[in-house]
Structure 1
Amino acid sequence: MRKMLMKWLLALSCFLLAACAVITVNVYFPEKAAKDAYKSLDEMLLKPGPKSPGAAIPAAPAPPAEQKEQAKPQSRLLDHLPSLALVTPAFAADNEADALAIEMSSMPEVLKAYTDMRQRLPRIQQLFTSGGVGLTNQGLVSVRDKTKLSPQDESLVTAENQSRKTVVAGMAKAILKLGKQKESKAALNQVMPKAAATFAETRQEEAQPGWWIQLPNGKWVQK
């Protein structure tokens, strides 16, 4: 009888372990909102203009008085952040990008990354134009012709890629936080590749004609 009980307990343990093994993290990734948030951050913190590189992203304006009664329950950006859901679109599509951009702009490491990238921008663009570097399908800067780079340029590229990784990580963390998803390694591993691919797509759209870009299949082409 005791042996039989032990066998049943062992079988039950194996079943529970197997069940746990197949549990996967399911995190909603708002691709369009992430892309728009990257664009907003680039516009505010990276591109030359009258605004300071450390300027905060403004909150979305409230709807006009005559439209308040017809507004959807999730149309206000900050009023409904506590009610975000985990796997489904939890706030109005028009405000997802604003929420992500605001969340990322509150991260000191992301602001520093943008400040550093803005300082490197003129030289990085020169390297793209010369063909010395290209833009990977993960949004990173890849050396293509070392003869067109100085030792200082190689260090510059390394630092630039670290800043870009910080921005992508910030996006992944913002998505998890606004989705009330625990910032676990599994969740980050699921979101990071999508955040990087979306970042790359945004940057490649901004690339100038003649710059080298890497397609999703790994092939390099000139824009």
Structure 2
Amino acid sequence: MTLFRASILTGVAAAFATACVTINVYFPAAAAEKAADRIIDDVWGTQPSAPSPAPISSLQHGALIFAAGALNLIVPSAHAAEPNLDASSPEITRLKVQMERRFAELKPLLDNGWVGLAHDGDVAVRDPAAVPLPSRNSVRTLVGNENADRAALYREIAAANQQPQWEAQIRQVFATRWIAKAQAGWWVQDGSGAWAQK
């Protein structure tokens, strides 16, 4: 009877432990970097040009299809295992278009050093005293609008993936990628807040 009772308790404990499984959704950092690069290239108009593929014959095409099919039979598809990051909602597209349009005004400010890329994923007026007095309000407004759209973009990417807790990580990935993709001569900020020309 004691052995029976112990096995029941063990079974109940095992069922309870199985029912209390927490599902952890890991942040897909590599996918976030790719998404950030695509968005930055679109906003800045620096879309990398892909080389045009060499033409293939119909015999080569058939051989490639056969090889892909055989490979799928031998090695199961890892497509589901690769984390993905959705960065294509209508709101994300709207924000991206606004940022693309604004870049025509922002680029000269980045080029002359009035504005730099901050370490937190925003843009910042690097030296307010360097901006001519008649331009200060328009520069401040432009930077404010850009930063509002950037914050909304990071939030919307997290929301599109139904992971609002990813917003800070998405912001950090973008902060790193904005700086990495900055043109030579632009000012960038390090983690301590110091500015340096790239």
Q: Please, what TM-score do these two structures have when normalized by structure 2? A: 0.66
Distance 1:144 1:129 in 2: 12
Question: Which residue pairs with 2:140 in the alignment?
Answer: 154
Q: 1:215 aligns with which of 190, 193, 198?
A: 190
Question: Which residue pairs with 2:124 in the alignment?
Answer: 142
The percent of aligned pairs where both chains have the same amino acid is: 29
When residues 43 and 134 of structure 1 are mapped into structure 2, their CA distance, relative to the original with a 3 A threshold, is closer
Shift of 1:43: 3.4
Per the alignment, in what secondary structure is the counterpart of residue 150 of structure 1? helix
Any conservation in 1 of the 2:43–2:100 contact (CA below 8 Å)? yes
Distance 2:90 2:69 in 1: 34
Question: Which residue pairs with 1:130 in the alignment?
Answer: 112
When residues 124 and 170 of structure 1 are mapped into structure 2, their CA distance, relative to the original with a 3 A threshold, is same
Any conservation in 1 of the 2:43–2:99 contact (CA below 8 Å)? no
Distance 2:68 2:38 in 1: 25
Any conservation in 2 of the 1:34–1:171 contact (CA below 8 Å)? no
Per the alignment, in what secondary structure is the counterpart of residue 185 of structure 2? coil
Q: Letter of the 2:96 partner, please give it.
A: Y
Distance 1:204 1:47 in 2: 16
Q: Letter of the 1:136 partner, please give it.
A: A
Distance 1:212 1:218 in 2: 12
Question: Which residue pairs with 2:67 in the alignment?
Answer: 66
Shift of 1:219: 2.9
1:2-41 equivalent positions in 2, closer than 5 A: 26-41=24-39
Any conservation in 2 of the 1:138–1:196 contact (CA below 8 Å)? yes
Q: 2:153 aligns with which of 167, 176, 187?
A: 167
Per the alignment, in what secondary structure is the counterpart of residue 221 of structure 1? strand
Per the alignment, in what secondary structure is the counterpart of residue 196 of structure 2? strand
Q: 1:112 aligns with which of 59, 77, 94?
A: 94
Shift of 1:167: 1.6
Distance 1:204 1:34 in 2: 15
Per the alignment, in what secondary structure is the counterpart of residue 104 of structure 1? coil
Q: How many residues align?
A: 154
Any conservation in 1 of the 2:119–2:191 contact (CA below 8 Å)? yes
Any conservation in 2 of the 1:109–1:166 contact (CA below 8 Å)? no
209-218 vs 192-201, greater mean Cα deviation: 209-218
When residues 167 and 69 of structure 1 are mapped into structure 2, their CA distance, relative to the original with a 3 A threshold, is farther
Distance 2:23 2:167 in 1: 13
